[in-house]
């Protein structure tokens, strides 16, 4: 098979750079596996390894520093048949560390070639995540106080399915690349090489020392055995096929008549666990069942099961413009947490507002008409108070009707919950 190297763009690396050996190795591996130019994409990172896309006459994608794995993942998910090769330096490993770890965890079928030459060659030989502590590099003393990492052990701990270390000078390079590329899952090859332009000017590193250093590193076999599993894009498609198709959004037909004209604002003030937000949604559904427009805004803390829960609903037979509360028709007050959250609003209420308040809750002084309800005396449990308060309004034909509320309950709940909710509505009926 013909070489996949780009004849019109011959390699331009510094004399003696091991990247050129890797480039030929990749070409020989791909052609040896019979992979055609249109069947492979080279995704390259930044730095000298970032030149690879240009030297291959294949699909090619060159992006930002450290982010090559992110593009490669998107490409692989979109085109599962493609052989995706990512070239990255030891610099890319550091800046894109989160992506390296996450790609290992996913086990998506990409081959990451780490062209590891222990420094940032392109910018002047600064230290990278793999620079030995004793090396003399362009970062002054900084590398002496940091520990270099063995990317293979890191990747193994993160779940990589295939790991290998090889010298760019090793006769087995092509075979190593082929094996990695043939692996059905994420494969990482840590390829040690020499940067003559920067690194070996001040540090001793030869093919021989690389070979002996590599030989001393711990085996990776255990990681590979432990991390063997289904490839990500295949697992994704299998899981996706099992997901239920969500039906189109429910259409609510106008089947009731609203007792109100114009705009009505309703505020429910409660605490977590009182199903305040659900009650707000029920109000919206009630309105929609009467052909009214509705908006709902909620206010709750980042914690769940604790703190205030506030919902603001507007129902209107005309378009709702401003979604804030200006002059509420009804305020339902079920917990002190909600009161504390809307003290200012409560104190400014006019006599146009009707407040339904659970027994025992203190309100700031205001002009509103207040009716107190002893939910406990009616044997209604706290999580049902909000619904019961809506039912009280409905029985009085204020804001909504019982018919509207029942239509909303039917839209919102399955039959078992619906029946329970109906019992709450009955308990709230005038005595």
Partner 1 sequence: MALNLMEGNEAIGWGAMAAGCNFFAGYPITPATGIYNTMLKLLPPRGGVCLQGEDEIASIGFCLGASMAGMKTMTATSGPGISLYSEQISFAIGSEIPVVIIDVQRLGPSTGSATKGADGDIQFLRWGSSSGLPVIVLAPVDVKDCYLLTGQAFNLAEQYRCPVFIAANKEISMTRETLDLEALDMPSIINRQMADSTASFLPFGTGGKQQVPGFLPIGGDRPVRQTSSTHGADGYITTDPEQIAAMQARLDAKLKTAVSEFTCFEELNVQNADTLVIAYGVTARAAKAAVRRLEKSDHPASLLILKTLWPVPEALIREKAASCQHIVMVEMNLGQYVRELRRLLPDKKIDFLGQMNGELIKPGQIMEVIAHG
Indicate whether 345 belongs to the interface with partner 1 (CB under 8 A): no
Q: Is 299 in the site for partner 1 (CB under 8 A)?
A: yes
**Exposure string over 409-419, b if 16+ CB within 10 A, otherwise e:** bebbbeeeeee
d(CA 265, CA 246): 32
Tokens linked to 330: 């009804």
Given 288, 387, 402, 428, the residue binding partner 1 (CB under 8 A): 288
Calpha distance 26→5 (Å, rounded): 10
Q: How far is CA 103 from the centre of its chain?
A: 14
- Applying CB under 8 A, which part among 196-204, 209-217, 288-296, 345-353 lies near partner 1? 288-296
Tell the smallest beta-carbon distance from residue 212 to partner 1 (Å).
Answer: 36
Q: Which is nearer to partner 1, 75 or 331 (CB)?
A: 75
225 forms part of the interface with partner 1 (CB under 8 A)? no
| Binding window for partner 1 (CB under 8 A); candidates: 19-27, 131-139, 174-182, 320-328 | 320-328
Q: Is 398 among the residues that bind partner 1 (CB under 8 A)? A: no
Using the minimum distance from each CB to partner 1, give the nearer residue, 60 or 175.
60
CA angle 144, 149, 153 (to 5 degrees): 160
Q: For partner 1, which stretch binds (CB under 8 A), given 145-153, 322-330, 376-384, 419-427?
A: 322-330
Structural tokens at position 301 = 């803390």
CB of 157 to partner 1, least distance (A): 16
Please tell me whether residue 23 binds partner 1 under the rule CB under 8 A. no
Stretch that binds partner 1, among 19-27, 175-183, 233-241, 413-421 (CB under 8 A): 233-241
Q: Is 190 helix (H, G, I), strand (E, B) or coil?
A: strand
Q: How far apart are CA 19 and CA 47, in angstroms?
A: 11
> Is residue 181 near partner 1 by the rule CB under 8 A?
no
Distances (CA, A) of 277 to 67, 116, 331: 41, 55, 14
Tokens read off for 340: 């504390």
Q: Does 293 bind partner 1 (CB under 8 A)?
A: yes
- 196 Cβ neighbours under 8 A, 6+ residues apart: 14, 15, 16, 17
For residue 166, give the nearest of 155, 150, 177, 157 by alpha carbon: 177
- With respect to partner 1, which residue has the nearer C-beta, 293 or 398? 293
Which 27-56 positions form the footprint of partner 1 (CB under 8 A)?
37-38, 41, 43, 53-54
- What the block records as the tokens of 280 is 């707000």
Could you tell me if 380 and 395 are in contact, meaning their C-beta atoms sit under 8 angstroms apart? no
Nearer CB in complex with partner 1: 210/285: 285
Tell whether residue 13 is a contact of partner 1 (CB under 8 A): no
60 is an interface residue for partner 1 by CB under 8 A: yes
- Please check whether residue 188 is in contact with residue 151, taking contact to mean a CB–CB distance below 8 angstroms: yes
User: Between residues 62 and 178, which has the closer beta carbon with respect to partner 1?
Assistant: 62
Stretch that binds partner 1, among 19-27, 68-76, 199-207, 380-388 (CB under 8 A): 68-76
Distances (CA, A) of 129 to 133, 142, 218, 219, 291: 10, 12, 19, 20, 63
CB of 405 to partner 1, least distance (A): 15
Closer of 76 and 198 to partner 1 (Cβ): 76
Q: Is 298 exposed, middle or buried (0-12, 13-18, 19+ CB in 10 A)?
A: middle
204 makes contact with partner 1 (CB under 8 A): no
Strand partners, 402: none
Site for partner 1 contains 61 (CB under 8 A): yes
Does 333 contact partner 1 by CB under 8 A?
no
Residues between 102 and 161 that touch partner 1 (CB under 8 A): 102
Please say which residue, 254 or 359, places its beta carbon nearer to partner 1: 254
Distance CA 288, CA 147 (A): 64
Tokens found for residue 226: 């432990």
Q: Which residues bind partner 1 (CB under 8 A)?
A: 9, 37-38, 41, 43, 53-54, 57-64, 67, 69-79, 81-82, 98-99, 101-102, 236, 239-241, 243-246, 249-254, 280-281, 284-285, 287-288, 291-299, 302, 320-324, 326
């Amino acid at each position: 098979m013909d070489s996949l190297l780009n004849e019109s763009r011959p390699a331009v690396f510094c004399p003696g750079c091991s990247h050129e050996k890797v480039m030929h190795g990749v070409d020989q591996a791909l052609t040896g596996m019979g992979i055609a130019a249109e069947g492979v994409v080279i995704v390259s990172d930044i730095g000298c390894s970032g030149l690879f896309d240009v030297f291959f006459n294949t699909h090619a994608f060159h992006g930002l520093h450290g982010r090559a794995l992110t593009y490669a993942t998107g490409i692989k998910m979109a085109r599962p048949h493609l052989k995706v090769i990512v070239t990255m330096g030891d610099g890319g490993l550091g800046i894109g560390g989160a992506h390296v770890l996450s790609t290992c965890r996913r086990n998506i079928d990409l081959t990451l070639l780490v062209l590891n030459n222990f420094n940032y060659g392109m910018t002047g030989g600064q230290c990278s995540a793999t620079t030995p502590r004793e090396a003399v590099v362009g970062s002054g003393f900084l590398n002496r106080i940091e520990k270099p990492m063995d990317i293979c052990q890191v990747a193994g701990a993160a779940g990589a399915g295939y790991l290998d270390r090889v010298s760019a000078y090793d006769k087995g390079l092509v075979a190593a690349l082929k094996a990695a590329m043939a692996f059905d899952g994420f494969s990482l090859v840590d390829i040690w090489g020499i940067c003559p332009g920067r690194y070996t000017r001040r540090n001793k590193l030869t093919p021989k020392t690389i070979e002996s250093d590599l030989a001393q590193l711990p085996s990776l076999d255990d990681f590979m055995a432990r991390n063997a599993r289904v490839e990500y894009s295949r697992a994704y498609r299998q899981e996706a096929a099992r997901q239920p198709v969500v039906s189109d959004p429910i259409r609510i037909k106008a089947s009731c008549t609203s007792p109100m004209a114009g705009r009505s604002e309703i505020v429910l003030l409660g605490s977590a666990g009182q199903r305040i937000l659900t009650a707000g949604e029920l109000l919206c559904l009630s309105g929609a069942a009467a052909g009214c427009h509705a908006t709902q805004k909620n206010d709750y803390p980042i914690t769940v099961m604790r703190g205030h829960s506030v919902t603001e609903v507007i129902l209107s037979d005309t378009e709702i413009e401003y979604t804030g509360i200006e002059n509420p028709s009804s305020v339902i007050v079920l917990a002190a947490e909600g009161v504390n959250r809307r003290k200012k609003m409560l104190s400014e209420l006019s006599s146009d507002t009707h407040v339904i308040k659970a027994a025992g809750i203190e309100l700031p002084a205001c002009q509103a008409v207040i009716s107190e309800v002893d939910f406990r005396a009616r044997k209604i449990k706290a999580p049902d108070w909000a619904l019961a308060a809506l039912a009280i309004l409905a029985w009085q034909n204020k804001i909504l009707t019982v018919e509207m509320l029942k239509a909303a309950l039917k839209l919102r709940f399955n039959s078992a919950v619906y029946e329970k909710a109906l019992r709450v509505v009955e308990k709230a009926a005038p005595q």
